[in-house]
Amino acid sequence: MDRFQHYIDGRFEDGAESFASVDPATGAPWALMPLASAADVDRAVQAAHRAFTSAPWAGMTAGARGKLLYRLAELVRAAAPRLAALETRDTGKIIRETSAQIAYVAEYYQYYAGLADKIEGAHLPIDKPDMEVWLRREPVGVVAAIVPWNSQLFLSAVKLGPALAAGCTVVLKASEDGPAPLLEFARLVHDAGFPPGTVNILTGGPEAGRALTTHPKVAHIAFTGGPETARHIVRASAENLASTSLELGGKSPFIVFDDADLDSAANAQVSGIFAATGQSCVAGSRLLVQRGVKDALLARLKARAEAVAIGAPDRMETEVGPLCTARQRERILALIARSTAAGARLVTGGQLSEGPGFYFPPTILDCSEAPDAPALAEEFFGPVLSVVTFDTEAEALALANDTEFGLASGVFTRSLTRAHRMIRGIRAGVVWVNTYRAVSPIAPFGGHGLSGHGREGGLAAALDYTTVKTVWLRTSDEPIPDPFVMR
């Protein structure tokens, strides 16, 4: 089997232990991954702290940091086919998606390369005539970045890019499910010329996660994953009082009004729930459709779902590949069973096909007569769409906000005034109007509630990795008066 290594303090090394990574398309092991211990994590954090506090990284100008990020962007762009093939092999994400996404990841590093020397402080018009006061934006310190297996090169770029641009150093923990592409990405970091310890990449389970999030030299924790794990991380951060940015799950409403272009809405909905085999935090998993167009839209979606090309993820013609893990497939089956028991109607899908691999077909559940179905509240993280009917705009808004999540949302309507009312009323960090799943390094991304806090992308993300230092400079040449002499 192939063998991968950790990247710690500028060196590639085996873990004290290793584990087999499974190919989701076959269910068979294909590579050995290093398993980070608490001692491995400590060495990585200590290396990051040394890099943060000493030359060459600590004394590097913002422009020089930007040049390293430009070089990394070039290397990612050139290595995109190799990284895409690894991500497809190790996670089951189809090659047509990994190829396009990883090529675009380079744009994030390029954006933050250009932003590195534009993170500015400020001069304050202070109310004291003999003082000059200004603010410096300085890097917060060592960053613990923790990413899941899905879209891991993208989800690491929106952390590494701004953190490095701001001058921080990073210990990046890849998920133990499908870590191959990030461990391979470490070679690009090395080749780009980042000083040893600036970026460290390892993988491991709960022991590594606890050691990283509680380490006294970690100043900020950037996490993408599920709410339950995030709760553990927030509790762990009490040990070091590290700040946190959390990009968590979603149960995103996809709202279609009766004046919408139904073909466009159907295409966007298919992309929003069946792309990436539904394993996306922004999956448009709750379709809220106005009653007058429900049947027409559902007929389009059913036909599209049943025509989807399911197959090997390394084939360009495949449209839906396997789920990443067997346990995720079992969870989806259980959630569908609970929802149909609560009155939801299975429109299509929901049944396992024979053969190897962790495949699951595109599935649609009509929950219009089952408002308490678990499918409407819990995240599937798979290709399962839950449908609800509404009559009025007010009802649509109430249904959209009837969730503990608040990450993304979509609105399809030809009415400009209605679109603006929905934009104001929907409680979500992102609102897409007449489109879905559009992203850019320029645009901040994030949510609230069980979808977390903080933003990734744009200038806002870079500022999350800085702290403000206030500088007071007295301009008078007169001696400071004796405070104990009455005048």
Q: Tell me, what CATH number does 224's domain have?
A: 3.40.605.10
Pull the structure tokens for residue 266. Answer: 């159907």
Average pLDDT of the segment spanning 444-466:
94
Boundaries of domain holding 331: 253-427
> pLDDT tens-digit profile of 340-379?
999 999 999 998 877 889 999 999 999 999 999 999 999 9
User: pLDDT tens digits, residue range 196-220?
Assistant: 999 999 999 999 999 999 999 999 9
Asked whether residue 380 is assigned to any structural domain, the reply reads yes
Burial class of residue 222 (count of CB atoms within 10 Å of its CB; 0-12, 13-18, 19+) = buried
Cβ(375)–Cβ(332) under 8 Å?
no
Encode pLDDT of 304-334 as tens digits.
Answer: 999 999 999 999 999 999 998 898 999 999 9
484, part of any domain = no
- List, edge to edge, every strand of the sheet that includes 122-124: 122-124, 131-139, 466-474
Is the residue at 477 inside a domain?
no
Asked whether residue 91 is assigned to any structural domain, the reply reads yes
- Whether 207 sits among the annotated catalytic residues: the reply is no
Are 213 and 298 contained in the same domain?
A: no
CA 38, CA 42: separation in Å to the nearest integer? Answer: 6
Residues 267 and 414 in one domain: yes
Q: Per the domain annotation, does 433 fall within a domain?
A: no
pLDDT at residue 486, as a whole number: 77
Alpha-carbon distance of 456 to 159, in angstroms, equals 7
Task: State the Cα torsion 30-32-38-42 to the nearest 10°.
Answer: -110
Per the structure block, which two tokens stand in for 484?
């104990």
- pTM check: above 0.85: yes
Q: Are residues 199 and 257 in the same domain?
A: no
CA angle 121, 221, 22 (to 5 degrees): 135
What pLDDT is attached to residue 471? 98
In a domain, 9, yes or no: yes
Residue 437 within a domain: no
pLDDT at position 487 is 67
**277 and 208, same structural domain?**
no
One DSSP character per residue, 11-30 reads: EEE--SEEEEEEETTTTEEE
With bands split at pLDDT 50, 70 and 90, how would you rate the model's confidence at 16? Answer: confident
CA 148, CA 459: separation in Å to the nearest integer? 23
- Main-chain dihedrals φ then ψ at residue 454, nearest 5 degrees: 90, 165
Q: Are residues 38 and 126 in the same domain?
A: yes
Residue type, 112: Y
Q: State whether 217 and 353 are in the same domain.
A: no
Same domain, 279 and 234: no
Q: Give the CATH number of the domain where residue 415 resides.
A: 3.40.309.10
Q: Judge if 226 and 339 occupy the same domain.
A: no
Packed helices 95-115 and 62-91: angle between N→C axes, nearest 10 degrees: 170
Asked whether residue 244 falls in the same domain as residue 265, the answer is no
Helix (H) or strand (E) run with residue 363 in it: strand 363-366
Q: Is residue 434 part of a domain?
A: no
Residues 397 and 281 in one domain: yes
- Using CA of residue 348, residue 351, residue 355, residue 356, what is the dihedral sign? positive
At 87-146, the pLDDT tens digits run: 999 999 999 999 999 999 999 999 999 999 999 999 999 999 999 999 999 999 999 999
Candidate from 69-78, 164-173, 278-287, 387-396 with smallest mean pLDDT: 278-287
Lowest mean pLDDT among 9-13, 211-215, 321-325, 408-412: 321-325
Contacts of 122 (CB under 8 A, 6+ apart): 134, 135
Collapse the DSSP code of 432 into the 3-class scheme (helix H, G, I; strand E, B; otherwise coil) and give the result: strand
Q: Could you give the CA distance from residue 29 to residue 90 in angstroms, rounded to a whole number?
A: 10
Helix 262-274 with 294-307: angle, nearest 10 deg = 50
Helix then strand count (H, E) for the chain reads 13, 21
Domain count within the chain: 2
DSSP assigned state of 64? H
Tokens describing residue 216: 């006294």
Q: pLDDT tens digits, residue range 264-294?
A: 999 999 999 998 889 998 999 999 999 999 9
Task: Give the pLDDT confidence score for residue 441 in this predicted structure.
Answer: 96
- In the set 87, 97, 247, 319, the catalytic residue is 247
Residues 220 and 295 in one domain: no
Sheet holding 2-3, edge to edge: 2-3, 28-35, 17-23
- Same domain flag for 158 and 86: yes
Mean residue pLDDT across the chain: 95
Burial 338-358 (b: 16+ CB within 10 A, else e): ebbebebeebbbbeeeeeebb
Give residue 176's pLDDT.
Answer: 94
